[in-house]
Amino acid sequence: MWMVYLLLLFCDLSYCCGSAEYSINGECCPMCSPGEHVYKHCTEYTSTSCIPCTAGSFMAVPNGLLHCITCTVCDPGLGLKTDRECSPTSDAVCGPLDQHYCIETDHKKGCRLAQRHSICRPGTFIRRNGTPLTNTDCEECHDKTFSNKSSLPFCKPHTDCQSLGLQEITAGTNTSDRVCRPRNDPRSRVAALVPVVLVVVLSPVIGIFISKQERESRENKMEG
């Protein structure tokens, strides 16, 4: 836009000055060099007076402007950082912050707006890492694999309970592994041993009780 403005400024409606001049007040004044702007326009008796651009401004082309152009600010709030600092003769060039990618460029081939790389959620993996120009590419975990954390580089295979001689008690999903346990579970063995222990412990007691009952029965018969 400012280039168009410069061209309109340099050309009068009735005529154009030389390529290194601009038209003002009926005079063809010498342009200021890149990095400078006009302090005073020329007159019939004096040449153009030029001064350097102040800090935070620039001028990339010969010109007849009274002010330099304000440098672009690379705003972190827009996901940007400065790739090239502004100088008296060139504007700043912005690029995306780390872990961001550019979604809108400007005429300087710099970045105008950037967005944070996507995070691959559990159940997916990073198929392709993000770059300054592209977003992260996530893909769903394939069959019999899982990822239980964000942004993992690959999905892990489900534990094969059978090959480990174990029993599956919970099926695996795309976000969790299978849960296995020993086939001879200690809880099952304890449950099986309880009746045996009871028999072993109670048998003598029952035997003593029966013997006592028989003895008392014989004594009662003898007394009768």
Tens digit of pLDDT for each residue in 62-121? 999 999 999 999 999 999 999 999 999 999 999 999 999 999 998 878 999 999 999 999
Domain borders along the chain are 2-70, 76-116, 124-182
**Homologous superfamily of 76-116:** Tumor Necrosis Factor Receptor, subunit A, domain 2 (2.10.50.10)
CA distances from 87 to 100, 112, 141, 172 (A): 26, 19, 49, 59
**Homologous superfamily of 124-182:** Tumor Necrosis Factor Receptor, subunit A, domain 2 (2.10.50.10)
**CATH topology match: 2-70 vs 76-116:** yes
123 backbone φψ class: left, alpha, beta (φ>0; ψ -120 to 50): left
Tell me which of 2.60.40.10, 3.20.20.140, 2.10.50.10, 2.30.42.10 is the CATH number of domain 2-70: 2.10.50.10
Q: Which pLDDT does position 8 carry in this prediction?
A: 52
Question: Could you tell me the pTM of the whole model?
Answer: 0.65
